[in-house]
Amino acid sequence: MRRLALRMLLRDWRAGELRVLALALVLAVGGVASVSFFADRVRQALTREAHQVLGADVLMTADHAWDPAFRDEIASRGLSRAESVNFVSMARSGQETLLAAVKAVTPGYPLRGKLRIAPGLNTPDADTDAIPPQGVVWLDERMMAELKVRPGDAIELGRARFRVGAVLTLEPDRGVSFMNFAPRLMMRLEDLPATGLVQPGSRISYQLLVAGEREGIRQLEQWARARLSRGERIDSLDNARPEVRAGLDRAQNFLGLTAMLAVVLSAVAIALGTRRYTQRHLDGYAVMRCLGAAQSQLFALFAWEFLVLALAASAAGCALGFVVQTLVAWWLAPLIPGTLPPPGPVPVLQGAATGLVLLLGFALPPLLQLKDVPALRVIRRDVGPPRQGALAVYVAGLAAVFGLLLWQAGELKLAGYVFGGFAAAFGIFAAIGYGALQAIGRLGRTGSVSWRYGLANLLRRPRANAVQITAIAVGLTAILLLTMIRGDLLDAWRGRLPPDAPDRFLVNIQPEQREALSEFLSANGVKRPQTFPMVRARLIAINGKPVGAEDYSEERAKRQIEREFNLTFLSALPTDNKITEGAWFGPEDLARGAISVEHWIAERFGLRIGDKLEFVSAGRSFSAPVTSVRKLEWDSMRPNFFFIATPALLEGFPASYIASFHAPPGDALLTSRLSQAFPNLTVIDVGVILKQLQFVMDQLIGAVQLVFLFALGAGVLVLYAALLATQDERTHEAAVMRALGASRAQVLAAQRAEFAVLGAVAGLLGSFGATAIGWTLATRVFQLDFIWNGWIWLAGPALGLACIVLNAWAGARAALSRPPMAALREVA
C-alpha cells in the first residue's frame, strides 16, 4: 500500500495535480520558518553569555555623575571597575555633520566580552583589549561611511579635534537592538572635558561597570541597591536589557503575524487545491472500491500519499525559510551590531508542524470524503460522495489556523483580533463579491450572445465565484497595501510638516551664549528663532505625597517619574497650545507661582487642576499648584514642554536654553558653521535625523517586505488555485459550446466576459481593502491625514483583470485547441 501510495504521489505530482497543494505548503512553512529562524538567532544572541550584553557582571547607570562612595566601595571589595559616559552630540568632518551616540570609556572597558576593531572599512576585524588612545576616536562602520572619513582623518566633537583611529565593528554591550539610530563614536573618558560637551542641562548617562567573583558582586549589588537614589539603576545578569527583550518580542510577534497572512492564504489555496484533487480522483477511488478495496485501504492510500507530500513540502519550505532568514539578517545587519549565531533546529520543527497542521486541517477533511465515494459511480456518473456543509468540513481547519495564530501572537487577545480581522475581511469580501455578481448577472443581460452567456455563467456558480473573488481580493489587498499605500503613508508623514517648520534645534545653549548666538543667527539670515529656557527637574511629590516608580503601573510612567523633566517658564501661552482645562496664568498666578501641565502627562500621572506639584532641581525644590491643562500639536516641530511654570517660580535655578528655527534655504553648511562656532551646542538637524531615521525604517521595512513576499506569493497561488478549481468545468463547457457550433472566438468572448467581471470585481475589492486598511493605519495608528490615491482604484481592477485573464488564457487555450469530443470525453 505504501508503494502504491508513493507511485500515486509521483504520478499525481508529474501530472501537476499536487502543484498548488505543495506550493501552498512550501510558502506557509517558508514564511513561518523564516521568521522563527531569525527570531531564534536573535534570541540566541541575547542569551549568549548574558554578561556580555552588559559588558560587565553588574552595570550601574545614572543620569548624573556617580557619588565617589560607590567607586570606593567597589575598590574596597577588590572588584574591577570601568566607566563609561554616554550622550548624543554632533560630530563634524569637513562639511559633513552627523548626530553621533558618543561613548567615552576608561581603560578596561568592557569588563566582559571584547571590542572588535578593524584597521579600515571592509577589512578583517579582530578582538582588542584596548580602548581608543588619547586624541583618537573609533567610529562604527555607518559613521565612517556617512561622515565620509577614513582612519587617519580628523573629526571634531564639541570643542575638541580627534583623529579617527579604527573601525569599531563590535561592542558586546551594545547588544541586539533595532533602535540604535545614531551611529557610535567611542573615545577615551579623559578626552571628554576637552570637548566642553558636559554642561548643566546636558542629557548624559553615567555608567559604572563592575566585574569580579560572584560573592563579591552579590554583596556589592546588595549594598548598592540599598543606596540607590533617583535616576540610578542597577542591571545585573538577571534583569539585563528587559526593554530590548520586550522590543524584540514585539518585533517577532509582528513578523510572525505577517507570516500568518501567508499561512491563512495558503490554507485557502490548500482547501481549493484539495477540492480539485478530490473531484479529479473520485473516479479512481470508485474503481478501487469496485475492485474490492476496503475503506481502510483507501484511507491508508491517500494518508500515505499526503503525509509524504507534507513532509517533502515542509522540508522545502524550511529550506526556503532558511534562505530568506539569511536575507533578513543580511538586510538588518547595519542595525544589529555583531554577528548573529546560526539558528538552532527548533524552527524546523515549527515549520514542519505548521505544514502538517495546515494539511491535516484543510486537506484531510475533504479527502476523507474520498473513501466514502460509492462504487456505483463507476456505472452511474451522477453519484458522488455524501455532501457535507463547507463549515463542517473546515471546522478542524479553522481551529488549526486559530491555534497557529495563537502560537504566533503569544496571547489570546491579539490572536482573537487577528483571527476576527481575517474572518471579517473574508466575510465582507465574500458578501460584497456575491452581491455584486448577483447584481451584474441580473442587470447586465443585454448585448451579444457571448456577453450574455458569460454573465449567465457567473450566476450559475455564484458561490464558487464568490470564493474566487474573495481569494483574489485578499491577495490584491496585500499587494496594493505594500506597494501603493505604503508610499502614500510615507508621503503623508513627510507632507505633514509645514514647509517653514523649524528644522534645526539647538540644545544646551548656556545663558552667557544667548546674545552671541542670536547675533550669529541673524548674521546668517535666520529669521525669528524661538528660544525657550529649560530647567531640568524631577517631580517628587503630588499634594505633599512623595511619588516614585512604584506608584505607577505603566512602563512609560515609571520611566518618566524616575527621570528629569524639562520644564520651561513663560508668561504667554505658546501659539499652538490649547487650554483644555483651567485657565492660563493670570496676574495672580504669575505672582504666586503656578504650573501648566500637558494633557497626556496629566492623564498618565492623574494630575488635576489644583494639585500641588513639588519638583527638585539641582538639589533645591520648588512647588506650585496646577492651574491649567494644555493640548499640544506634537508634530508642529516646535519645542514642546510637558510642564510650563511661571517665570518667577524658576528664577535662580540653573537653566540652559533651547532654540528652534527654520534654516534659510540653500545654506547647506549652516549646521557645520554653527557647530564650529558653538561647539558645545548640540545642533539637531531634523533633515539629518530624518535621514538617519529613514535609514532605520528602510531596513526594517525591507525585512518586513521579505516576509510579506510569502503572503504575496500565497495570494497569487490562491488566485491560481481558484481558477484551476473551475477549469475542468470551463473546459467542458467550452467543448459543449463548440459542439453546438460556437466559433472559437465566441467561446473565448463568453469566457472573457465572465473573467472580466470576476477580475474587475475582485480588483475593486482589493483596492477597497487596501484603502480601508491604509485609512485605518493612517488615521487611527499614525494620526496622519490619509491621502486618497485615485490610482489604486485603477491599479486594483487592472491587476485583477491581468491575473485572471493570464491564468484563464492558459486554461481556455487548452480547452479550445482540442477537438470538442476529446475534451467532452475527458471531463464527462
Partner 1 sequence: MQDISLEVMPGDAVAIVGASGSGKSTLLGLLAGLDTPSSGAVRLDGTDLFGLDEDGRAALRARLLGFVFQSFQLLPALNALENVMLPLELAREPGAADRAAKMLARVGLAERLRHYPKTLSGGEQQRVALARAFVTQPKLLLADEPTGNLDAATGAGVIDLMFEMNAEARTTLVLVTHDDAIAARCARKIRLVAGRIDGEG
Query: Which residues contact partner 1 by CB under 8 A?
Result: 1, 4, 7-8, 11-12, 15, 283-284, 286-297, 374-376, 378-380, 825
Q: How many whole angstroms from its chain centre is CA 83?
A: 34
- Could you give phi then psi for residue 752, rounded to 5 degrees? -65, -40
Name the amino acid, one letter, at 692: Q
**Closer residue to partner 1, CB minimum distance, 13 or 66:** 13
Q: How many whole angstroms from its chain centre is CA 566?
A: 31
CA 778, CA 55: separation in Å to the nearest integer?
A: 41
Could you tell me the smallest distance in angstroms from the CB atom of residue 828 to partner 1?
Answer: 8
Could you tell me the smallest distance in angstroms from the CB atom of residue 275 to partner 1?
Answer: 18
**Closer residue to partner 1, CB minimum distance, 293 or 761:** 293
**Closer residue to partner 1, CB minimum distance, 292 or 546:** 292
Sorted by sequence, the CB contacts under 8 Å of residue 167 that are 6+ apart come out as 117, 118, 119, 120, 121, 123, 125, 138, 139, 140, 141, 144, 151
Could you tell me the smallest distance in angstroms from the CB atom of residue 748 to partner 1?
Answer: 26
CA 20, CA 725: separation in Å to the nearest integer?
A: 10
- Residue 377, number of CB atoms within 10 A of its CB: 19
Q: Are 324 and 30 in contact (CB under 8 A)?
A: yes
CA 153, CA 161: separation in Å to the nearest integer?
A: 10
Q: Are 183 and 169 in contact (CB under 8 A)?
A: no
Could you tell me the smallest distance in angstroms from the CB atom of residue 274 to partner 1?
Answer: 16
Could you tell me the smallest distance in angstroms from the CB atom of residue 253 to partner 1?
Answer: 43
Beta pairing, strands 595-598 & 620-631: parallel
**Closer residue to partner 1, CB minimum distance, 281 or 504:** 281
CA 239, CA 261: separation in Å to the nearest integer?
A: 34
Q: Are 268 and 260 in contact (CB under 8 A)?
A: no
Cell numbers standing for residue 165: 583611529
DSSP for residue 335: G
Could you tell me the smallest distance in angstroms from the CB atom of residue 269 to partner 1?
Answer: 22
Could you tell me the smallest distance in angstroms from the CB atom of residue 388 to partner 1?
Answer: 18
> What three-state secondary structure class fits 156?
strand
**Closer residue to partner 1, CB minimum distance, 261 or 288:** 288
Beta pairing, strands 643-645 & 656-661: unpaired
Q: Which residue has the cell 573609533?
A: 138
DSSP for residue 240: S
CA 526, CA 522: separation in Å to the nearest integer?
A: 5
**Closer residue to partner 1, CB minimum distance, 382 or 550:** 382
Q: Spell out the alpha helix ranges (H) of 549-597.
A: 555-562, 587-592
> What three-state secondary structure class fits 289?
helix
Could you tell me the smallest distance in angstroms from the CB atom of residue 376 to partner 1?
Answer: 4
Could you tell me the smallest distance in angstroms from the CB atom of residue 270 to partner 1?
Answer: 20
**Closer residue to partner 1, CB minimum distance, 8 or 46:** 8
Give Cα separations from 739 to 451, 452, 811, 824 (angstroms).
Answer: 19, 19, 18, 9
Give one DSSP letter per residue of 367-379, joined into a string.
HHHHTT--GGGGT
Could you tell me the smallest distance in angstroms from the CB atom of residue 408 to partner 1?
Answer: 37
**Closer residue to partner 1, CB minimum distance, 3 or 387:** 3
Q: Are 314 and 351 in contact (CB under 8 A)?
A: yes
CA 388, CA 541: separation in Å to the nearest integer?
A: 68
CB-count exposure of residue 68 (10 Å: 0-12, 13-18, 19+)? exposed
Could you tell me the smallest distance in angstroms from the CB atom of residue 287 to partner 1?
Answer: 5
Could you tell me the smallest distance in angstroms from the CB atom of residue 14 to partner 1?
Answer: 9
Sorted by sequence, the CB contacts under 8 Å of residue 681 that are 6+ apart come out as 90, 506, 507, 508, 509, 513, 517, 674, 675
**Closer residue to partner 1, CB minimum distance, 292 or 619:** 292
Could you tell me the smallest distance in angstroms from the CB atom of residue 8 to partner 1?
Answer: 5
CA 441, CA 455: separation in Å to the nearest integer?
A: 5
**Closer residue to partner 1, CB minimum distance, 290 or 464:** 290
CA 377, CA 380: separation in Å to the nearest integer?
A: 5
**Closer residue to partner 1, CB minimum distance, 284 or 654:** 284
Could you tell me the smallest distance in angstroms from the CB atom of residue 386 to partner 1?
Answer: 12
**Closer residue to partner 1, CB minimum distance, 378 or 777:** 378
Could you tell me the smallest distance in angstroms from the CB atom of residue 297 to partner 1?
Answer: 6
**Closer residue to partner 1, CB minimum distance, 690 or 814:** 814
**Closer residue to partner 1, CB minimum distance, 375 or 579:** 375
**Closer residue to partner 1, CB minimum distance, 3 or 413:** 3
CA 350, CA 363: separation in Å to the nearest integer?
A: 19
Q: Which residue has the cell 503613508?
A: 489
**Closer residue to partner 1, CB minimum distance, 4 or 364:** 4
- Could you give phi then psi for residue 139, rounded to 5 degrees? -115, 150
**Closer residue to partner 1, CB minimum distance, 285 or 622:** 285
CA 618, CA 801: separation in Å to the nearest integer?
A: 69
Cell numbers standing for residue 791: 490610482
Could you tell me the smallest distance in angstroms from the CB atom of residue 735 to partner 1?
Answer: 16
Q: Are 211 and 111 in contact (CB under 8 A)?
A: yes
Could you tell me the smallest distance in angstroms from the CB atom of residue 375 to partner 1?
Answer: 4
List of E strands, 394-521: 504-509
Could you tell me the smallest distance in angstroms from the CB atom of residue 293 to partner 1?
Answer: 5
Q: Are 656 and 517 in contact (CB under 8 A)?
A: no
**Closer residue to partner 1, CB minimum distance, 12 or 503:** 12
Sorted by sequence, the CB contacts under 8 Å of residue 498 that are 6+ apart come out as none
Cell numbers standing for residue 394: 473546515
CA 744, CA 735: separation in Å to the nearest integer?
A: 10
